Amino acid sequence: MTDVTLYHWEPNANSGKPMLALMEKGVAFNSHYLDLLSFDQHKPDYLAVNPQGTIPAMTHGHRVLTESTAIMEYVDEAFDGPQLMPTDAQARWRVRWWMKFMDQWLAPSFSMIGWSVFVGPAVRAKDPDVLTAAIERIPLPERRVAWKKAIYGLFSEEEMAESQRRVALGIRMLEQALSEREWLASDNYSLADVNGFNLAYALPLAQPTLSNDELTPNILRWLRAIYARPATKACWAMGRTAMVKRVSILEQPHIGGGNQS
């Protein structure tokens, strides 16, 4: 039995990053699925592993590791398998630059939009008393605020507009970078691509007027190339909700602008 256990939700955003990194490295791990929509991450069993109640977390022997991007770097350095960080100093800088940009600047905007259309509606129908109690159990005050906004639709028009502005700018930056090289930050597939795919795999579905084969051919080429990798297929097969089915948009040979069903 492997001594690696990953506590995760869907192969999406934060959880998907270490999931995909482990699979790319060929590392066997125990999968411990946490239903984010049922607040499993705030229940006592998981809080004993990660008192902050954030997903994902990974244990390797006696070590407990949190924060998805940091876990990816640990996985790449601690285990044998294909290297997911370049050896060239400038390329390593680009990998870390893109991961920081996505984690701190772009991902929160994707998250706000995604939570407003998927996570909030998915949990809003639960018993109000159950929801109130679940929110109060969230350890981090800022996460309590975020969950309240998502569940009750409290994101302001200004917040949503700023998120949409950042997404549009991020799409332009990704397209430009991918017009210069095959992969996002290096001549070889790297952690920047793992990070970016988890953030952007459903981009042509979520933002069809901003990302399609006409406007962003390099993004679509990049997303399809990552989706075609065996590790990605195996990773997304672990999903349990309809969310992961959005990746099937990448199976279409041509994605045009306009509305997508």
Across residues 5-26, what is the average pLDDT?
Answer: 97
- When pLDDT is cut at 50, 70 and 90, the band that residue 260 belongs to is very low
pTM of the model: 0.92
Is residue 259 domain-resident? no
Q: Are 216 and 239 in contact (CB under 8 A)?
A: no
Is residue 161 domain-shared with residue 246, that is, in the same domain?
Answer: yes
Mean pLDDT taken over the chain:
93
Residue tagged 């400038």 (tokens): 90
- C-alpha 257: how far from chain center: 24
CATH number of the domain enclosing 139: 1.20.1050.10
In a domain, 70, yes or no: yes
Query: Mean pLDDT, to the nearest integer, of 114-142?
Result: 83
Confidence band for 52, pLDDT divided at 50, 70 and 90: very high
Task: Indicate the residue among 27, 46, 78 that finishes a domain.
Answer: 78
CA neighbours within 13 Å on the CB side: how many for 136? Answer: 6
**Which CATH number covers residue 69?**
3.40.30.10
Residue 43 has pLDDT above 50, yes or no: yes
Whole-number Å distance between alpha carbons of 237 and 9: 13
pLDDT at 258: 57
- Percentage of residues in the chain having pLDDT higher than 90: 80
pLDDT greater at residue 243 or residue 176 = 176
Residue 168 falls inside a structural domain: yes
For the chain, what is the domain count? 2
Burial profile 208-243: b = 16 or more Cβ within 10 angstroms, e = fewer: bebbbbebbebbbebbebbbebebbeebbebbeeeb
Q: Which of 78, 102, 118 is the last residue of a domain?
A: 78
DSSP-based three-state secondary structure for 47: helix
Of 102, 93, 88, 86, the C-alpha closest to 17 is 102
Is residue 257 situated within a structural domain?
no
Residues 101 and 221 in one domain: yes
58-82 pLDDT, tens digit per residue, is 999 999 999 999 999 999 999 999 9
Are both 94 and 72 inside the same structural domain? no
Neighbours of 51 (CB within 10 A): 12
More confident residue, 238 or 132: 238
> CA–CA separation, 122 vs 113, rounded Å?
14
Domain of residue 63: give its range. 4-78
Do residue 239 and residue 141 come from a single domain?
Answer: yes
One domain, residues 199 and 119: yes
- Residue 221, in any domain of the structure: yes
Question: Considering 40, 57, 78, which residue would you say is the last residue of a domain?
Answer: 78
pLDDT band at 128 (very low <50, low <70, confident <90, very high): confident
Q: Do 41 and 112 have their domain in common?
A: no
- What per-residue confidence (pLDDT) applies to 150? 80
Q: Residues 59, 176: one domain?
A: no
Q: Give pLDDT tens digits for 181-215.
A: 999 999 999 999 999 999 999 999 999 999 999 99
The verdict on residue 71 lying in a domain is: yes
Q: What is the pLDDT of residue 154?
A: 86
- Note whether 58 and 165 are same-domain residues: no
Displacement of CA 5 from its chain's centroid (Å): 19
Q: 69-78, 107-116, 220-229: which range is least confident on average?
A: 107-116
Helices (H), the chain: 13-25, 44-47, 68-78, 89-101, 107-114, 120-124, 128-136, 141-152, 157-180, 191-200, 203-206, 217-227, 230-236
pLDDT, position 22: 98
Q: What is the pLDDT of residues 140-191, one digit of tens each?
A: 999 899 888 888 888 899 999 999 999 999 999 999 999 999 999 999 999 9
Clarify whether residues 123 and 244 are in a common domain. yes
pLDDT value at position 216?
Answer: 98
pLDDT band at 261 (very low <50, low <70, confident <90, very high): very low
- Of 7, 6, 13, whose CA–CA distance to 196 is shortest? 13
